[in-house]
Structure 1
């Protein structure tokens, strides 16, 4: 088992992530990225630092704020689990799809939060409609 940790300088870390030094230092200051290992000229960065920065970049590109990213990083403990949703704030706006299946049966869904494309949502709705028709037919036959 290889336990050797790749030691990187700040310049190397910046080159790999395409971030500037100021941004990396800001992320460290804000608690988004761990402090470097060691001090002064002997300080170095590990794979963990690289992974933290790449994760921050991914979430920033997805449109998350640094505040939300910080919450997600605190929640993430190395597991690939969906983090808890933020509590709703007064005045927040949500977009829901309301799909009528049949009398008395409707679907309310947030496609973005459910991670569904319009095609997937359409397919899902059609499958629910077919299932509802089967239940209705079974109930009429009894």
Structure 2
């Protein structure tokens, strides 16, 4: 059986106000309901779309970027929101003068020895690139 929802039910399930749901429909982030006004019916896909938009928006993506993600034009890269007072430990690797890498070690999931190996490999790659001749301009 295909469960249907009224706008009120959909708003309660998604924890979004009616105005926001209507706005998301207007923008095309959520499919239009079947029927109009009080007879409008929403389905599970509408709820899933709303929850996806809410999750992406909560992750800091703009509505334009969310639209691109939903169309498949770009991947969603969500930076977690950090609460005030959050402490982060980062590794700072200097590859060369003007070339630095910052790594959030708590999210990377590798140990100190792997991190040192990563640094050695990046530095070696940078040095190889520096030794190559610049590409010849093509006519």
Q: How many residues align?
A: 105
Structure-1 residue corresponding to 2:69: 72
Counterpart of 1:99?
93
Aligned: 1:62 with 2:54? no
Equivalent residue number for residue 75 of structure 2 = 83
Conserved 8 A contact 2:57-2:63: yes
SS in 2 for 1:123: coil
Q: CA deviation at 1:110?
A: 6.7
Cα deviation digits, residues 89-112 of structure 1 (max 9, x gap): xxxxxxxx76247xx9xx96575x
| Structure 2 residue aligned with 1:140 | none
Alignment TM-score, normalising by the size of structure 1: 0.59
Given that 2:8 and 2:18 are in contact with CA atoms closer than 8 Å, whether structure 1 keeps it comes out as: yes
Given the alignment, which residue of 109, 126, 129 partners 2:116?
Answer: 129
Conserved 8 A contact 2:3-2:43: yes
1:31 CA displacement? 0.6
Name the SS for the 2:110 alignment partner: helix
TM (normalized to structure 2)? 0.60
How many Å apart are 1:20 and its aligned residue? 1.0
Q: Gaps (5+ residues) in structure 1?
A: 77-81, 86-96, 112-116, 134-142
Structure richer in strand, relative to its length:
2
Root mean square deviation, CA, Å? 3.3
Q: 2:100 & 2:39 partners in 1: Cα distance?
A: 56
- For residue 47 of structure 1, the aligned residue among 44, 48, 53 is 44
- Following the alignment from structure 1 to structure 2, what is the Cα–Cα distance between the partners of residues 49 and 39? 15
